[in-house]
Amino acid sequence: MTAPDLVNLSALIDDAKCFALVRQHRWPEGVRCPACGGTSVVRDGCDDRQVHRQRYRCKGCAGRFDDLTGTVLAGHHQPLRVWVLCLYFMGLNLSNRQIAQELGLNGSDVQAMTEQLRRGLVAKAAPVQLGGGVEIDEVYVVAGHKGQPAAVAKRGGLGAAADWRERRAAARWRRTSRRSSA
């Protein structure tokens, strides 16, 4: 398959559908103000850069907000379709490097996006409530100093990590002790 035969997913998804999807999942019973929770909300134009991003004004608190206010997706320069595709690729269990390649983005940008999406998912998840008893059968005792090289006593000499001043002082001490013993 040649490069022109491949289908680019980002070309198939448009911003209008993505914003409609966000509105549908965020406000299934209708638009609500994120500040006061009021339902008396009027449309207040569209965003200058993203024409499908609807602005709203609350009649109750006179607050202004848009489709993404108060979400993980708010305040970013990437278009919403890129965020939706990133979330889709995360669901397919693709690595950050593969997602960056698919979306044509820098790896550090994708890393920041996936971290933010994961933090948002964790924040929305219900806390796990554990119950029942805990049983312990055996005790594991660490025998030795594996993984703790500072705790191991060095034998024979100063070793490679010694400072050059310490080595010079030790050599001087050896020379003077040989002379005095002879």
Encode pLDDT of 56-110 as tens digits. Answer: 999 989 899 988 888 888 888 888 889 999 999 999 999 999 999 999 999 999 9
In terms of average pLDDT, the best of 12-21, 73-82, 95-104, 159-168 is 95-104
Answer whether residue 155 is part of any domain. Answer: no
pLDDT recorded at residue 152: 57
Mean predicted confidence (pLDDT) in 158-169: 66
C-beta neighbour count of 41 within 10 angstroms: 18
pLDDT recorded at residue 141: 67
Reported as a pLDDT band with limits 50, 70 and 90, residue 3 is very low
38 exposure class (CB count in 10 Å sphere: 0-12, 13-18, 19+)? middle
Answer whether residue 104 is part of any domain. Answer: yes
State whether the Cα torsion 4-49-20-114 is positive or negative. Answer: positive
pLDDT recorded at residue 175: 79
Answer whether residue 35 is part of any domain. Answer: yes
Q: What single-letter DSSP state applies at residue 153?
A: P
Residue span of the structural domain in which 24 resides: 8-122
Answer whether residue 40 is part of any domain. Answer: yes
Answer whether residue 133 is part of any domain. Answer: no
Number of separate domains in the chain: 1
